[in-house]
Structure 1
Amino acid sequence: MEESLIYEILSVVAEIPEGKVATYGQIARLIGRDKNARLIGKVLGMAEKYGEYPCHRVVNHAGRLVPGWPDQGVLLQQEGVELKDSRHVDLKQYQWDGC
């Protein structure tokens, strides 16, 4: 995978403001790769190799948190994002508009 693509994805993630979330598909659309939501997840899985990015602010299309990452919910709650239940964010309330 080209580093320029990785940094393009991570630069969008870096723009997500505190207290908001974005979806994998939303990030894919913002970089002009509408059908590549899984690619976004793959890049976020290795993001720590490229610096510190707020990857905890990215959820799936239903607002579901990453399975097996219990700290994600904690980090979001510390930023003022309330969870609907133990595994979901209310996208209507907290989704970043991504302008």
Structure 2
Amino acid sequence: LFLIQLVFCVHSYKETFTILYYLFTNFFHSLIIFFIVIIINHYYFIQDFCFFFCLTSSICLSIILYIFLTMTLYSYNKCYYSTYTEQFIS
């Protein structure tokens, strides 16, 4: 949370979403690898419902945040370029 606040103070919105997108992409890939290693090494713990529920919830939350950042970055770039195009035509 502190990182997000710091980035918002220093950069513009477009740069902020770009930075967060790339940070979270790297985090998301690392998280997937981490969970795969956990599942391989501790497969007998998966029988415990609580552990399985927490693992599944974490993966789903990561996917949702990744999609949100991707959509936000795409929509912001789309608005930015359309405004730039209108200024260029004018």
TM-score, normalised relative to structure 2:
0.29
With a CA cutoff of 8 Å and minimum separation of 6, indicate the structure with the bigger relative contact order.
Answer: 2
* Higher strand content, 1 or 2: 1
TM-score, reference length from structure 1: 0.27
Query: If you compute each CA radius of gyration, which structure gives the higher value, 1 or 2?
Result: 2
